[in-house]
Amino acid sequence: MSNKVSCEIIKDMLPLYYDDVCSDESKRMVEEHLVGCHNCKNELDRLNADFKLPKEEIETIRNDSNVIKNISSFWNQSRIKSFMKGIIISALLFSLIILGYFGLFNWQIISVSTDEVEIKNVSQLADSKIFYFAETNDGYSLDRLNYDMDKEGNFYITPLRPIIKQEAQPHNGLEKRYHFIDIKYQEEARGKEIKKIYYGTPKDKILIWEKGMDLPKVSEEIENMYYNGK
């Protein structure tokens, strides 16, 4: 049977034989032909060489595939991490911008130079309250006075503004107004005797009062304003 079948027919059937999808009869026919035909047997060997890979190469391909999968997974994770970092950084930058903007206009941290301040009409009530009229003349608003005292008994009233100043609005701020200091209350609260009262800072100040100073009594107008305002 093998002698009657041409090599062309066998070669056409070899792929089916190799994949083991031919009938038993065809399989026997191919095997019988291969026994006596070196050319067809070489063709089968070539098919084996083409489609069978060494174990080492198969393992290499598998490893390369795993590496590619790992790289892809890492890339996806990196993209997610980068995206999250971008969101966090953007949120932080936005917060800093808002805080910075708010701080420039609202944080009262800049003291007013005494060159722009006039203190007058310093007077005293009988109950240890010192009144004075403070006027800032630079045209900007003043909304905060900070009170502090050092170890030597120097009491400081410091006018403060934000970094970006705003124009003064009539009758809305502390630019031109009577103020008072309750010496007795401040001494009890701080546990120290007040010897001098300054308007400004330790390096830039105007003396308002010092212990032993003889001050006039407050005017009836100021006294009525104080008691009626309580």
Q: CA–CA separation, 105 vs 164, rounded Å?
A: 5
Question: 121 or 94, which is more confident?
Answer: 121
Question: 158 or 221, which is more confident?
Answer: 158
Question: Quick one: DSSP state of residue 168?
Answer: -
Q: Do residues 149 and 155 lie in contact, with contact meaning Cβ atoms separated by under 8 Å?
A: yes
Report the relative pairing of strands 154-161 and 144-149 from DSSP bridges.
Answer: antiparallel
What is the Cα gyration radius of the chain? 49
Listing DSSP states for 42-76 in one string gives HHHHHHHHHH---HHHHHHHHHHHHHHHHHHHHHH
Q: What is the reported pLDDT for 102?
A: 74
pLDDT class of 3 with cuts at 50, 70, 90: very low
Lowest mean pLDDT: which of 86-100, 113-127, 140-154, 202-216?
A: 86-100
What are the tens digits of pLDDT across the range 53-68?
555 554 565 566 566 6
Q: Considering the chain, what is the average pLDDT of its residues?
A: 83
Inter-CA distances, 87 with 76, 84, 127, 226, Å: 17, 5, 60, 55
pLDDT at 5 over 50: yes
